[in-house]
């Protein structure tokens, strides 16, 4: 497993969690390093509403400027850490490509792969969410409306270029990152920052169960 050499989180909350993960000798390498790569992505990774650039992801390569959507960003960070192999990531892309030419078709296939076919639970305050879990911020009819990665202490990292539309603290944080010259798309937030309704998470580090 690996992280992106020479890249430190600029965000102070991400930096604090980065140090804590590095100091925790009890973590499996794949879990620690995937969470660290996600923390390195805060303020750097950019969003676009597609998955195609996942094919450019490589272990140890910090290509945070290669834009993908929210759930693909989470998959990409696992590739960058070496927790998920490039062939598996390519199969994930191929499954989405085969879903057809409509956004709903791709979203439905993604929902099958990263949600329905993986063990998951609804979230409640006090839950012990696994490090490296995919976290699902759902809306009616779409349980993967937004997807993030749990990096510990009930904090998640997610990439979404329209997060500012949520208003409140999310919009404030988005604008603050933009003002600092960071990418506002990728933020570290409390797990329930997008609301507690239809909030869920995978029961294991997601790459261990991803059915590709």
The pLDDT tens digits for 138-180 are: 999 999 999 999 999 999 999 999 998 998 999 999 999 999 9
Residue 6 domain-assigned? Answer: no
pLDDT exceeds cutoff 90 at 1: no
**Quick check: is 1 in a domain?**
no
Within-domain flag for 58:
yes
Instruction: Flag whether 3 is in a domain.
Output: no
Domain tally for the chain? Answer: 1
Tell me how far apart the alpha carbons of residues 96 and 209 are, in angstroms, rounded to a whole number: 17
53-73 confidence digits (pLDDT tens): 999 999 999 999 999 999 999
Domain presence at residue 175: yes
* H or E stretch covering 12: helix 12-23
Write out the residue range of the structural domain in which residue 100 sits. 12-208
Q: What angle do CA 128, 11, 29 make, to 5 degrees?
A: 50
Question: For residue 67, what are its two tokens?
Answer: 């834009």
Does residue 152 belong to any structural domain of this protein? yes
pTM of the model: 0.96
Residues above pLDDT 90, as percent of the chain: 91
Q: What is the pLDDT of residue 104?
A: 81
Domain membership of residue 7 (yes or no) is no
Does 167 fall in a domain? yes
Closest alpha carbon to 35 in 50, 19, 52, 51? 19
Q: Is 129 helix (H, G, I), strand (E, B) or coil?
A: coil
Q: What's residue 103's pLDDT? A: 66
User: At CA 26, angle to CA 24 and CA 27, rounded to 5?
Assistant: 80
The string of pLDDT tens digits covering residues 8-35 is 998 999 999 999 999 999 999 999 999 9
- Judge contact between 61 and 80, C-beta under 8 A: yes
pLDDT in tens, 99-122: 976 668 899 999 999 999 999 999
Sheet with 120-122, edge to edge strand ranges: 120-122, 199-202, 134-139, 142-152, 155-159, 186-190
């Amino acid at each position: 497993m690996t992280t992106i050499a020479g890249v430190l989180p600029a965000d102070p909350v991400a930096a604090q969690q980065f140090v804590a993960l590095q100091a925790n000798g009890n973590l499996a390498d794949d879990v620690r390093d995937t969470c660290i790569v996600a923390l390195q992505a805060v303020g750097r990774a950019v969003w676009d509403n597609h998955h195609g650039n996942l094919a450019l992801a490589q272990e140890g390569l910090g290509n945070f400027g290669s834009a993908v959507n929210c759930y693909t960003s989470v998959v990409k960070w696992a590739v960058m850490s070496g927790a998920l192999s490039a062939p598996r990531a390519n199969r994930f892309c191929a499954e989405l490509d085969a879903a057809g030419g409509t956004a709903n078709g791709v979203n439905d296939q993604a929902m099958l792969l990263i949600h329905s076919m993986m063990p998951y639970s609804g979230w409640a305050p006090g839950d012990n969410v696994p490090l490296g879990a995919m976290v699902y911020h759902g809306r009616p009819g779409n349980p993967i409306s937004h997807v993030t990665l749990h990096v510990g202490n009930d904090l998640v990292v997610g990439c979404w270029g329209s997060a500012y539309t949520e208003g409140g603290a999310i919009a404030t944080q988005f604008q603050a990152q933009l003002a600092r010259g960071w990418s506002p798309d990728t933020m570290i937030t409390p797990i329930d920052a997008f609301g507690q309704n239809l909030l869920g998470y995978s029961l294991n580090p997601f790459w261990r169960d991803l059915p590709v």
